[in-house]
Homo-oligomer: A and B are copies of this chain.
């Protein structure tokens, strides 16, 4: 695959998309606060890939199969986090194999990795060897943090649920996926109720084709404010739009905080 940002890419304006499936009852029960959506989203931005949708599904085979087949078909890449450990509730590999219509097998290289990792940690038991199971035909994603590697099959990337292990896997994937131009964003803040500038935002977005403006209100120290985030793959468009928005807000007598509040 080409590197992201390859100037010779034939479709420079193509938008590359990814989806994420967060797998785990612990997220849906409220026990664990998901961190992988934000983590993957930020990483994808740098690769020039847009996170188009994310789903959180339970540890149930049919829920995983349905989400995998819907999302891998309509996105360039599909990532999953969670459910690849050694215990009975780790069903991700089996469910994804079922979705893809392939068998599950032990990956020899993954077995070797686990043997080395557990050599000084009590040895490779049958339960631990479960973590070398992959959908037939899969490759591995390096795990720099703990033992069990992630798994790649086709456009599906199967990663750990523990965020810092996922982070290590993403580090290993950096620069290996084809993407488009990274989306650039710029932010300004203003102590203003967003309803007071709603028309201005709408008009400004329309005038600057190719940018989107997000408005994110907050209440702090008893005051109402908002940050306005301008996004586009074209940095010059972002700058021009931000400058325009700042000028208009200041013309309306409002103080603008560069970089946001």
* Among B35, B45, B53, B212, contact of A55 (Cβ-Cβ < 8 Å): B53
Chain B residues within an 8 Å CB radius of A202: 87-88
**Chain A, interface residues (CB within 8 Å), range:** 35 or more
Q: Does A85 contact B (CB under 8 A)?
A: yes
Q: Does A61 contact B (CB under 8 A)?
A: no
**Copies of this chain in the oligomer:** 2
Main secondary structure of the interface of A (DSSP, over half): mixed
The answer to whether B194 and A29 touch across the interface, beta carbons within 8 angstroms, is: no
* Among B54, B63, B214, B219, contact of A26 (Cβ-Cβ < 8 Å): B214
The answer to whether A52 and B39 touch across the interface, beta carbons within 8 angstroms, is: no
Closest-CB distance, A195 to chain B (whole angstroms):
4
* Chain A interface residues toward B at CB < 8 A: 25-35, 37-45, 50-59, 63, 85-89, 121-122, 125, 127-128, 130-131, 146, 162, 183, 185, 193-196, 198-199, 201-202, 205, 212-219, 229, 231
